[in-house]
Chain A
Amino acid sequence: MGWVFISDRDNDGKVEHIYREKTDRRILKKNPWRDYRLHGTVLFLVIIAELIGTVNIPITKNVAITIMPLIYTIMLGLIFYLDKNIRWIKKKQARIAEGAMMLFIGVLIAKLAISSGQSIHLIFEMGPALILQEIGHLATILVLPIALLLGFKKESIGMTNSIGREPNVAVVVDKYGFNSPESRGVFAIFIIGTVIGTIFISFLVTLSLSFLPLHPYAFAMASGVGSASMNAAAIGPTLAAFPGLESSIEAFAGFSNLLSFCVGIYIVIFIALPITEKFYNFLEPKIGRGSLVKEKEDDDNG
C-alpha cells in the first residue's frame, strides 16, 4: 500500500490558518534562529548559486533553456538533506526550514505587493483577465479521465479538483473525512507536489516561455498557481524572459497571488469539487478500471 497519512495536520475546517499552525509550532515555541548549521548551509548554497549565475543552454536557434540560481538552491537543498554524508542537515533542520519558510514567504509577498501597489492602475485596466484566469485553474479537472484510465477510483476526485496544496488539502479533508479515498488522493498530490512540484514548474515555465507565444502578462498571471514555492519558482524565469517589464510582471504575479488566496479556495469549494464529482460520476462507469487500491496490495511500486 502506497498511501500516506499526514499525521501533523488537523484542520477543523479553518482553512485560513493552515500555514499558521505549522509556523507557530516550529517558530514561536523553539529557538529556530539558533540553528546556525541550517542558516549557514543556506548562505553557502546561495553564494554558490549566485556565483554560478544564470546559464543558458541553447537547444535550437530560437529556443534556449535558462537555468537560474533558484534551481540550484532548491536542488542543492534537497541533495544536502538526502546525502547521508552531510550530517548537519537532518530532519530537525528540515522541520525548522519548513516552519521558517512560512514566515519568509511573507517577505516575498511583501515585495510583490509593493510592485502591485506601485502599478495599481493595472488592476483597473486588466481586471477581467485577472479574475477570469482564476477560472482557468479548473483545467485540472481535465486530468480526471487519465486518472481513471490509470486505475484510480474516488482518489481521482481528490487528485484532480485542484493543484492540491495546503488549502486544497484542508477543503477535501473537511468535506470527505481524513480516511476517505478522496483525501488519500489529495494527500498523494500534496506529497508529490511538495517534492517535485517546484522543480517541475520551473522547467515547465522555462520551456513554455520559449515555445508558447503567449502574452507576457498572461505568463505573469499564471505564475500565481496557489502554492508559495511553486509561485516563486514560476515567477523567476518569467521575469528573466521579459527584461524591461519586471515591475508589471511582479505586479500581476502579486495581484494574481492575492486573488488566488482570496477566491481560489471558494472556487474549489463551490465550483471545482462539485464539477469534479459530477464528471467522475459520469465517466467512472464508462472508463473506470478495477480498483487500484486492491491491486496495490501485491503490486509494490515503492
Chain B
Amino acid sequence: MADFIDGTENVTVHGIFNWIRLLIIFSVITVIGNYIGYKHPIGEAFIGMGILSLITLAGVWLERELPFNISSILYISIIGIVIALPGMPTSKFVLYYVSKIELLSIVTVFLAYVGIGMGKSWDEFKALGWKAVIITILVIASTYYGSAIVAHIILVLTGVPAA
C-alpha cells in the first residue's frame, strides 16, 4: 500500500478515464438538480460543470505527476483562483458559465454520496458509547464557534461593514 503514497506515481490511462467518467456522471446529476432547484439553463450549466471538472482533473493529475507532497485540493484551489482573477483573459468566460451552477446544487449531490458512504461506518459508530458522542458534538461546535467568534471580533475591530 505504501507505493500509493511515495512520491510520484504514474496514473494509467484507464485510471484517468475512470476519473473522467465519474466527473461526467457527477456533472449530469448536478446539472439536473441545478435545473430543478434553480432553473438555470441546462446547456450553460453543463459548460460550467465542464470547467469545474477540468480543474478537478488537472488538480488530481498534478498531485500524482509532480514530485511535491502537495494535496490536489491546493492545486485545484490555485488553478481556480488564477483563472478567475480579474484581468485574466479566461476570467469572463469562466465566471459566466460557472455562475450558472449554484454551489448548493453541487453540495446537494456531493452530500448524497457522503450519506451513502458514511453508512459504512454505522456499525463502528454504534459500538462507541454516548460519552464519545457528547465529546464529538462539543468538539465540532467549539471549532466552529471558536473560529466564528474570533473572525467576528477581528472584523468588527478592523471596521468591516456588515454587508
Contact A74 B111 (CB under 8 A): yes
Q: Does B66 contact A (CB under 8 A)?
A: no
CA distance A160 to B132 in the complex (A): 11
Q: Does A301 contact B (CB under 8 A)?
A: yes
Contact B151 A217 (CB under 8 A): yes
Which residues of chain B from 72 to 126 have any CB-CB distance to chain A below 8 Å in the complex?
Answer: 72-74, 76-86, 91, 94-95, 98, 101, 103-122, 124-126
Contact B139 A143 (CB under 8 A): yes
Kindly identify which residue among A19, A73, A301 contacts B112, using a CB–CB cutoff of 8 Å. A73
Nearest-CB distance from A120 to chain B (Å)? 6
CA distance A204 to B72 in the complex (A): 29
Which residues of chain A from 188 to 218 have any CB-CB distance to chain B below 8 Å in the complex?
Answer: 188-189, 191-198, 200-201, 204-205, 208, 212, 214-218
Kindly identify which residue among B74, B101, B103, B140 contacts A262, using a CB–CB cutoff of 8 Å. B74
Count chain B residues whose beta carbon lies closer than 8 angstroms to a beta carbon of A.
Answer: 112
Contact B77 A113 (CB under 8 A): yes
When A32-B22, A117-B85, A146-B138 are in contact, do A77 and B120 touch as well, CB less than 8 Å? no
- Among the interface residues A17, A77, A107, A115, which one has the most CB atoms of the partner chain B within 10 A? A107
CA distance A281 to B142 in the complex (A): 21
Nearest-CB distance from B79 to chain A (Å)? 7
Count chain A residues whose beta carbon lies closer than 8 angstroms to a beta carbon of B.
Answer: 150
Residues of B within 8 A of A214 (CB): 148-149, 152
CA distance A231 to B103 in the complex (A): 12
Contact A74 B140 (CB under 8 A): no
> Residues of A with Cβ closer than 8 Å to B?
2-4, 10-12, 14, 16-17, 19-21, 23-25, 27-33, 38-39, 41-43, 45-47, 49-51, 53, 68-70, 73-78, 80-82, 89, 91, 93-95, 97-98, 100-101, 103-118, 120, 125-126, 128-130, 132-140, 142-143, 146-147, 150-152, 156, 159-160, 162-164, 188-189, 191-198, 200-201, 204-205, 208, 212, 214-219, 221-226, 229-230, 232-236, 239-240, 244-246, 250, 254, 256-258, 261-262, 292, 296, 301-302
9 contacts between A and B (CB under 8 A): A4-B128, A20-B4, A28-B19, A42-B113, A49-B108, A105-B110, A217-B151, A246-B103, A258-B77
11 additional A-B residue pairs with CB within 8 Å, beyond A107-B23, A109-B80, A114-B83? A17-B63, A27-B18, A39-B25, A74-B111, A77-B118, A78-B116, A107-B106, A113-B84, A139-B147, A147-B135, A208-B148
